[in-house]
Structure 1
Amino acid sequence: MNRRRWLTGALATAMASVVSACGEASWRLSEQARRMGEGLTRRAQRLLIPRDALAPTYSRAEISPDFRANGSIDPAASDYRALKADGFAGYRLVLDGLVERPLSLSLAELRTRPAQTQITKHDCVEGWTSIGEWTGVRLETLLDEAGLKPEARYIVFHCFDALDQREDGERYYESIDLIDARHPQTILAWDMNGETLPVPHGAPLRLRVERQLGYKHAKYIRRIEAVESFAHIGRGKGGYWEDRGYEWYAGI
């Protein structure tokens, strides 16, 4: 009886191991297929659509009266709260990484750069859309000012907010490649609908990358980093939501 009980247990353990291994293999194949599909989508879109093709723009009359604030709407981090309490007077945007001339710019200094205004539609992965007017500096302007090193391939946006609203929570981050970074509608916005960017929408500075879905539009930006790879950042997938299964390339 002891031998039979032992053999039964051993067989059950072996079967469980096989099932587990099959499940792991299936998950890996599924993940590999998803990544391949994403890569094909990105390459097809880049092949068929000129890299400077513009997202549609709208009139002021078409601006949404109730543009939804999604994700973080008021970061809990103490460094952000201190800046907000002072009207962001002490805020500085850092641009570093694989650049020749790292930058550290106040909001006043950012506003001395050439400004661009655009009225565009925000497409959320949840299915809703809103139209808003954004004013800011083209990201390409700052990248040229800093001087990208030849090995730089991606631009990473490090943010103040943690979606769980904990002081020590995992902070939001996002990344785009140089094609989207240099797109003429990719800006760092400080105004929304003709007024200073409100906190729920990412004050003091947020990304607008108009040919991507909403989760790519990083809010509450504190640092921009030029990198060769984002494998060492977060969980290595290129963004907070990408680390949790979203597509890295969210082109529309």
Structure 2
Amino acid sequence: YLDIDAIIDICRQHDIDGIHPGYGFLSENPKLAQACADNGITFVGPSVEALHKLGDKTIAREIATAAGVPVLSGSQRAIVNADEGLALAKSLGFPVILKAAHGGGGRGMRVVRDAADFVAQYEQAKRESLSAFGSPDIFVEKFIQRARHIEVQLLGDQHGNLVHLFERDCSVQRRHQKVVEIAPAPNLDPKVRDALCDSAIKIGKQVALARSSFWSMPTRTSFSSSRSTRASKSSTPSPRKSLVSTL
């Protein structure tokens, strides 16, 4: 299930014309999407271009900014070294959070609460990112304490149609990984809900997003700092609220 060539060979042998990648493993790997495109197989997921663009959180920040969506203050690219990162962290004000540019699932993330701890946390995040994702790239963002983690799921097609399936609250986490999801998000101001959903649509249109994806927005207001282009493994709550099946 991790061998792209073997998967494509199976499709050829059995005249399979479409692959739904599920979640995890190869679901966010643009190489599988490209292999499908090269062999005339429909990849039931985002385009190769969208996977490339949103697979790098620093590029995702640029896309959000270009779409007019507010983002957390932070680095515009991966930081070159600990000294550059520390200088930026001081300008942002502690606490800050270090994030793996190509990461996910809570890996390669470190909250830094004072300057004395920055270098050690940076080196740890860099090593973990390299080990888990094959990339040492780390960027810095302002850390919002006691923020809520709200996700908006998007559903698009190859004809330019794009809709949101409302939001879900994923604030209950352990080690930056979601434990519980609730839809609709409880006690969320309707104006904030509308702003989040509108922002997600803007971002999706910016990358011509097709098929299922979601954008997560840790929020006290309408901040955006992470994304995922896969069909969510936990895609039940939002579609159930909107009575739409994503599969």
| TM-score normalized with structure 2 length | 0.28
| Higher radius of gyration, 1 or 2 | 1
Q: Structure 1-normalised TM-score?
A: 0.28
